[in-house]
Chains A and B, each alone.
Chain A
């Protein structure tokens, strides 16, 4: 980017002296601040963090990579947790924030104490934090509509299942969906319900609204709700629409079953990979290493199509979500791309 800071000169200097993968950060400590562990996504996230973090420690790339999760899903607790991490002397905090603004005070304190803060998934608005960003509107919302249009060349009625109302994620994805669907006049959203990214909630909402709906050709959603939606259609005895999926193992297995019983069934599945915590980990490591890192590093979502379906089913644990862990190289490349 365009800001010339001391960081940049340090980065130039150090990269002149030694090659990449410096041992500079071998004494540095990185903490993961997490506010929730109760679903499969967060569990996979913690596992990925441990896997990559432990390896980085063993390889002496980093001094420590510890994960901390608060007891309750509440922002004040996470704010207190961040303050503790500051006192414990961590050099960087990788943060999955429970609130976009309630943690800003603590994040600012950390920055003022010279600690690098990298937010991912749950972002914060405090400008001193680095952010791992995903363009959900484009890569997920709009892309789903394009994938749907490809599979429904003659158009049809669409049921759109939204996430938790009032969250930035729900707003972003919806923006992308609505923007793109205007370009496909033969796709018509006939009803919108909130499934809260949860199969139970989605199944309830769809079960309730389904009897009043005309034939549905496709479901656009936000992931985590596809299997519940399929169950709602099945128990209502309605023909199965094309349901966009969210990379959960049960969704992928269900897709495989549909292919077995009806060879033509084709859909598309995507989600942020829980391993994005490891992406943020390497961003923090790069900053600690003195590299010039832009404040926002974009990341791609992980998608599964027919060709990668079998491999993803095999790699994902029962009840889990498809995952990928990022390497230092991946992140170095992403940072280079972001600087263009």
Chain B
């Protein structure tokens, strides 16, 4: 037990007294926690970049874009669908949304929103899809709500109109009833009229003869009277006339008995009176009927107006209902439909993961090889002899790089060769992929070499290389989506050589993008390689003598210890 304690204590002492080990033991967890804290201590929305394309960016489209922007998505509008999709392929945007000109539903047709997504980003594609679709569902619900509200408004308006017109119909009904009653009254009144003529027979011939005789006598008397009047007689005129006039008066009795005439006259008078009464009654009835009929006419006129109003109301209702364009239940319930389209051909998970796997292998191989080769040279017994060689330091650095590169190229050939077995269609993109891998390998090799030059012991250097590789991998989005980390760090991660290399290979491998399109990223990688090479040169020239001294001290000490040991043995 004591031995266990002593050995453990000794181990801890040795470990902590070695500066590099102590540094790693103490600072590695701190660094990881710091990185995690800085990276994922973030409650903001995932940093999605969304490309939006619409044939016309109407107010409607813009309002929806504003909604997306309010959700902290970064929105980029594109003039063409191709450019929008290309950006998804390039990884600049996470999805390209194709919006119709207007999101307003004007018919039974549903509005289709098309998402173009990159299926190769398998750790984030579903998240992108669901996150953005959710926003569309909300919008769809809003539109659906508006449509339902519209339907309800129309129903309410119809009801109001019908209620309103119902009162008019009731009034109309009353008026019609009243008119009917009046008409009945008129009818009754008119049916009561006695318009029957007296049935008595009058001696019309006698009356005619009498009338004729009398007319003749009258004429003659009148002629006599006229003659008398026209004569010059003075005294006898009256005397003459008198008889004439008497005669005239008495003419009535010529050829007609006074009795019969009287009877006739009486009868006539009676009949006339009767007729008079009847006419009076009829006149009264007609008057009353006129009044009633005028009322009926008025009522009918009003009814006609009311009917017009009712008809207009009904027309309004019809127009209101006809105004409801959406009659399909499906459209009403989900006015916006989403369609997912991939920007590449559907592939296997291997093809999606292939770029990341390639870069991962190349990164760790290059980092470790770079570090190991430098450490090998630094710790090689011949390191000192190199000082006396008429060879520039740059030559040593380049040769280490080339050695590493040859090994990496060998690895690339093996990896790509084997990959062809699984990904038979990848032939065409392999040369470009190989070029990108070559440049990426250069960057990682120089990084590994830099670590090799900085660190003293091989173990620490290798550990540092692995740590660096892990950090680069960690902030590459391969394991955890970059979109989840804080905005500040996210900006830096886009400069991660792993991210750039993986992006380039994905574009070439999955989308068959040409070098003309991706040249900028390629230049960035080359720039990294050059900068790292220059840093190594500077560092090497600064550290070279220090390394030599350290090397000498180390070997001098080792040799002395060896000598002492030999002496003791002897």
A and B: interacting chains: no
